[in-house]
Structure 1
Amino acid sequence: MNDVKLAELRRTPNALAPHYSQFQVAKRLLLSGHSHQAWPDFALEGQIEAFQDAARDVDEKWGRAFAKADEVRAGLRTFLDDPQAELALGASTHELVLRFLSALDLRRRPRIVTTLGEFHTLRRQLTRLGEAGLDVVALPVDPVDTLAERLAGAADERTAAVFVSSVLFETSRIVPGLGELAERCLLRGVELVVDAYHAIGPAAFSIPGQGLSSAWVLGGGYKYLQLGEGNCFMRVPAHAEGMRPVVTGWFAEFDALSDEHEPGKVAYGTGASRFAGATYDPTSHYRAARVFWFFAQHGLTPAFLRRVYQHHVGLLVARFDALNAPEALITRDRTTPLEGLGGFLSLRTARAGELQRALAARGVRTDSRADYLRLGPAPYLSDDQIVSAVDILGEVLRETPWT
């Protein structure tokens, strides 16, 4: 075991940085960790292994590929704190959402309740379904402290599902009260879907700890888990047994291929397999399995990573406040304590896009969403890199005529 300590990650160079030499993280100011993190060098071994297995075994490679998928599930279960979680895997959360939606009885329950703060995957798809005649209700996220309660109040007997994020993708706010929302949804026969993409990794997300055993949980490894593309999941609750998604791939009957099928009736496997898709590129799972191995070797557990992100976000907050930037131009949420934030700092400004481009021109990678400039650290960054990035933001704010 080669555990790293928080002090080793604060120094320059960061103790983890040498393991990310392909991405050159020690030489770059990558404050885009909330969007896309660097991959450890070991990830390349997984991609090479996938090619080698295909070259050696040709179509017989799938046994090894499915074993890699199981390794990915095991890694994800650790970050969900749910050792027995039934997990359907997909290349994107969108394809998993489609399979879920297609399993709902939308004729009997034609209402979907969600928020105005969901990521574009849900925003776009649910809005389009609303255009097509579904009753889609989207609540404002503010005040966040009452969001779960307001969602529960909006979920009536006509509601099929409630969609909500655990950490809001624009603001980094952790949404409280999801366990109580899950209880009320279960009592009313409403499915609760929690988007945990921005929670797993930086927020020590726990399905049992948050009372979400009856919930569906969506997420992926493109961001904080450093798994790259193609590694999304949907946690399927036990009560989903018997659901029959209309959007379904032939892998969903893998467990039943040898059984006799009733003519004209589609068969499904058990557990999460009923939400499986079809033939896919397994390279992403080979890569992800190596990354999870790397995390385990270096003690990058959910609890430890939460400490890392809290330290980094706290440092961002302190350095930004020291800039004394004009609040008319750029500000942050000063009502939410540090423990109420996920893995990035969100700064509100009408010039978010311009600031992002100005920072990029000076070597600082960030991103923006509407009126939010987002600064996302990662475990391989040193304190000095974070300080340098915010100092450059200060230079941009001082030197650019914004009026």
Structure 2
Amino acid sequence: MTRLDDLTGPSNALAPHYSRFRVAERLLLTGHSHQAWPDVAARGQLEAYDDAAAEVDDKWERALGKADVLRAGFRRLLGDPEAEIALGASTHELVVRLLSALDLRNRPRLVTTDGEFHSARRQLARLAEEGVDVVRVPTAPVTTLVERMSAAVDDRTAAVLVSSVLFETSWRVPHLSELAARCERVGVELLVDAYHHLGVLPFSIADLGLERAWVVGGGYKYLQLGEGNCFLRLPPQADRMRPVVTGWYAEFGDLSHGAGSPDRLPYAAGAARFAGSTYDPTSHYRAARVLDFFEERGLTPELLREVSLHQRGVLAAAFDDLGAPDPAITRDRETPPDGFGGFLTLHTPHAGRLRAALRRRGVLTDSRGRYLRLGPAPYLTDDQLKAAVGLLGEVLAEERIR
């Protein structure tokens, strides 16, 4: 079983299992966006091909079994063993299916924040162009975000959409249970984006008070599952809903809901009613292998949180040691460490310029507007994290940022 001490010394015990991504040779501070895949992922890819070659169209029995493994993995991560889980290639397609099930004619308001990921941000902006009342609540200060979102909810609101960890700043959104309670009182659907939460913070539907919330997320980031592995957790009231955007897989299973009426399209019960249609199952084969790898190595949410807090602390301390010019580049020092997700955000008007300069020096990271994001991962050593920040110091001097 893996321990924190196995990952912080001159060599990292996990790194040899990521040889195809060469994590020991590169400074990959992309852990908040695209983590490396363990080598076992390649075997999953080949297994998908071998099953297709051997079984041709009969491969689907095996492929659907891999989808069930993925659903079970997401249930564990959500702390919700009985959850109904719909799968999709992206969170966007799952969010669109949910939006299409809302009664926007009679409740034409959606409440969200100005800090949501692009798949939601862009889609909601387009809906606003078509007349939907989209209310964007500023994320700062995050300590009062839920209070301010709750105040924006009224009986014209169809849904509230919010992240549990904000993708630009890494702020954790506190008091989600209060927002959930407000939504339930007014008959509003609550969608929580947990993409920047799972794999770096323990998540519990019950502890967060989200039993009646929808939860969306995926495996492209901290879970190391790669593309094509996203989910939508359905709450109990989902069986009353009929998404307009619907694939033929939603006819699988029990068609008792609306069956027998030629004028009313039937839907299967449970998560299948939010299903899509024929898809590439290769991603699920890969995910099943990676989920097994995490289990075998003891990479539990609790350990991953311990690693994340340590690594983000290493990055923050190394940045502080640079004595970088404030406010040309700075970080949030008021929020306690546990108030963040898994990456360090540096606030600077030069974020894009610094990202490009770091890349030229072999440090891969990214930027979003005025935010330079440094994302550690469990397969990196402390020395690699410090080296990356040291190169940032050289870039600041070279670029004459002061």
TM-score grouping bracket, smaller chain normalisation: over 0.9
Q: 1:119 aligns with which of 109, 117, 120?
A: 117
Q: Work out which of the residue numbers 82, 85, 89 in structure 2 matches 1:84.
A: 82
Give the residue type in structure 2 aligned to 1:193: L
1:16-35 aligned at under 5 Å gives the runs 16-35=14-33
Confirm or deny: 8 A CA contact 1:29 1:365 kept in the other structure: yes
* Partner in structure 2 of residue 194 of structure 1: 192
Q: How does 1:3-152 map to 2 (within 5 A)?
A: 3-152=1-150
CA distance in 1: counterparts of 2:277 and 2:318, whole angstroms? 48
Instruction: Output the amino acid matched with 2:319.
Output: F
TM-score, length of structure 2 as denominator length: 0.98
Asked if structure 2 preserves the Cα contact closer than 8 Å seen for 1:256 and 1:267, the reply is: no
Deviates more, 1:21-30 or 1:247-256: 247-256
The alpha-carbon deviation at position 24 of structure 1 amounts to: 0.3
Query: Helix, strand or coil for the counterpart of 1:164?
Result: strand
Q: Provide the rounded CA distance (Å) in 1 between the counterparts of 2:366 and 2:163.
A: 20
Tell me the alpha carbon deviations over residues 246-265 of structure 1, each in whole angstroms, 9 at most, x when there is no partner: 00000011114799643232
**Does residue 362 of structure 2 align to residue 394 of structure 1?**
no
Which runs of 5 or more residues in structure 2 are unaligned?
Answer: none
For 1:31-62, what per-residue CA distance to the aligned partner results, in whole angstroms no more than 9, with x for missing partners?
01100000000001111110111111111111
Per the alignment, in what secondary structure is the counterpart of residue 393 of structure 1? helix
| Deviation for aligned residue 1:401 | 2.2
1:290 matched to 2:289: yes
Q: Counterparts of 1:384 and 1:164 in 2: how far apart (Å)?
A: 36
Q: Counterparts of 1:154-303 in structure 2 under 5 Å? A: 154-256=152-254, 261-303=260-302
Residue 321 of structure 1: how far off its partner (Å):
0.6
Offset, 1:399: 2.3
Post-superposition Cα deviations, 1:105-150, rounded to whole Å, max 9, x if no partner, equal: 1111000000000011111000110011001110100110010111
CA displacement, residues 285-325 of structure 1 (integer Å, 9 cap, x when unaligned): 00000000000000001111010101000111111111110
Which residue of 2 is the match for residue 379 of structure 1?
A: 378
Taking the aligned partners of 1:247 and 1:399, their CA distance within structure 2 comes to: 52
What CA deviation, in whole Å up to 9, does each residue of 1:227-260 have, x standing for no partner?
0000000100011112100000000111147996
SS in structure 2 at match of 1:255: coil
Name 2:348's counterpart in structure 1.
349
Indicate if the aligned counterparts of 1:168 and 1:175 stay in contact, CA closer than 8 A. yes
User: 1:77 aligns to what SS in structure 2?
Assistant: helix
Whether 1:313 aligns to 2:312 is yes
Question: Quick one: distance in 2 between partners of 1:102 and 1:81?
Answer: 27
Call closer, same or farther: CA 1:234–1:311 in 2, change over 3 Å.
same
Task: Give a deviation string over 1:84-105, Cα, whole Å, max 9, x none.
Answer: 1111000000100110001011
Residue deviations 1:261-295 (CA, integer Å, cap 9, x gap): 43232111111110000000000000000000000
- Distance (Å, rounded) in 1 between the aligned partners of 2:276 and 2:239: 17
Q: Match of 1:241, SS?
A: helix
Quote the offset at 1:6 in angstroms: 0.4
Find the aligned partners of 1:256 and 1:77 in 2 and give their Cα distance.
22
Closer, same or farther: CA 188–385 of 1 in aligned 2, 3 Å: same
Alpha-carbon distance in structure 1 between the residues aligned to 2:170 and 2:287: 25
TM-score by length of 1: 0.98
State the shift of 1:70 in Å. Answer: 0.5
Q: Are 2:256 and 2:266, in contact at CA under 8 Å, matched by a contact in 1?
A: no
* Letter of the structure 1 residue corresponding to residue 374 of structure 2: L
Quick one: which amino acid aligns to residue 163 of structure 1? L
Q: Tell me, in whole angstroms, the C-alpha distance in 1 between the residues paired with 2:389 and 2:220.
A: 25
Q: AA paired with 1:233?
A: F
- Quote the Cα distance in structure 1 between the aligned partners of 2:188 and 2:261: 31
* Percent of residue pairs bearing the same amino acid type: 64
Letter in 1 for 2:361: R
Cα distance in structure 2, aligned partners of 1:361 and 1:110: 48
Aligned AA (2:171): R
Q: Distance in 2 between matches of 1:318 and 1:401?
A: 22
SS in 1 for 2:220: coil
Residues in 1 aligned to 2:193 and 2:212: alpha-carbon distance in whole angstroms: 14
Q: Structure 1 residues 347 and 132 mapped into 2: Cα distance closer, same or farther (>3 Å)?
A: same
Answer yes or no: is the 8 Å Cα contact 2:255–2:269 preserved in 1: no
3-state SS, counterpart of residue 240 of structure 2: coil
Q: Distance between the aligned counterparts of 1:60 and 1:289, measured in 2?
A: 19
2:290 counterpart letter in structure 1: V
Q: Which amino acid aligns with 2:399?
A: T
In structure 2, what is the Cα distance between the partners aligned to 1:112 and 1:257? 31
2-structure distance, mates of 1:135, 1:202: 34
Would the alpha carbon gap of residues 278 and 29 (structure 1) be closer, same or farther in structure 2, given more than 3 Å must change? same
Contact 2:256/2:267 (CA < 8 Å) preserved in 1?
no
3-state SS of the aligned residue for 1:309? Answer: helix
Q: In structure 1, how many angstroms separate the alpha carbons of the residues matched to 2:222 and 2:114?
A: 23
* Structure 2 SS opposite 1:332: coil
